[in-house]
């Protein structure tokens, strides 16, 4: 089995109502409860959800979980997002992030990781994300393909 390493450089943060600035690119994204401060900084309180898409801009605008995400907000908070461009390894990166961080609005990958061993390095706007971690395949769930 070949181990995989993925570097994620997170851009952002985009707060409501400025989500229109999220790139129309392939990648992974995080949904956070935050406060937008008067000095144009963002105070991140809680990671709510991690997702992936071939077009993060379009996915965020049409996402069915907005009402669920808002449930986690406290008075004066809003939804903020960050984004890391990633292509071929997008689903594997998302699964590793979810498996390691276990955001409350994610279900899939919280207790399983059906990929080969994957080390993730995060940088940039990655508050509340571990800077480095390794996700290990869940026994019996990862099918060995041509990359073993």
pLDDT digits (tens, 9 = 90+) for 4-15: 999 999 998 898
Question: How high is the pLDDT of residue 90?
Answer: 97
Question: How high is the pLDDT of residue 19?
Answer: 87
pLDDT digit string, tens, across residues 47-64: 999 999 999 999 999 999
Question: How high is the pLDDT of residue 141?
Answer: 53
Collect all residues with Cβ–Cβ distance below 8 Å to 111 and sequence separation of at least 6.
99, 138
**Residues 81 and 30: beta-carbon distance below 8 Å:** yes
Q: Is residue 141 part of a domain?
A: no
Buried-exposed string 109-148: b where 16+ CB fall within 10 A, e elsewhere: beebbbbbbbebebeebbbebeeebebebeeeebeeeeee
Q: Is residue 80 part of a domain?
A: yes
The enclosing domain of 67 has a CATH number of 3.40.1440
Domain that holds residue 44: 4-135
Is the per-residue pLDDT at 145 higher than 60? no
Task: Quote the number of domains for the chain.
Answer: 1
């Amino acid at each position: 089995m070949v181990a995989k390493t993925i570097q994620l450089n997170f851009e952002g943060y985009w707060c409501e109502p400025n989500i229109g600035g999220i790139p129309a690119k392939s990648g992974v994204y995080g949904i956070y409860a935050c406060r937008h401060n008067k000095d144009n900084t963002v105070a991140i309180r809680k990671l709510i959800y991690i997702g992936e898409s071939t077009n993060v801009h379009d996915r965020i605008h049409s996402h069915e979980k907005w009402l669920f995400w808002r449930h986690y907000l406290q008075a004066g908070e809003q939804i903020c997002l960050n984004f890391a461009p990633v292509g071929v390894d997008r689903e594997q990166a998302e699964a590793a992030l979810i498996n390691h961080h276990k955001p409350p609005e994610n279900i899939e990958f919280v207790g399983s990781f059906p990929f080969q061993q994957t080390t993730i390095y995060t940088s940039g706007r990655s508050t509340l994300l571990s800077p480095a971690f390794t996700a290990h395949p869940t026994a019996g769930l990862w099918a060995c393909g041509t990359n073993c």
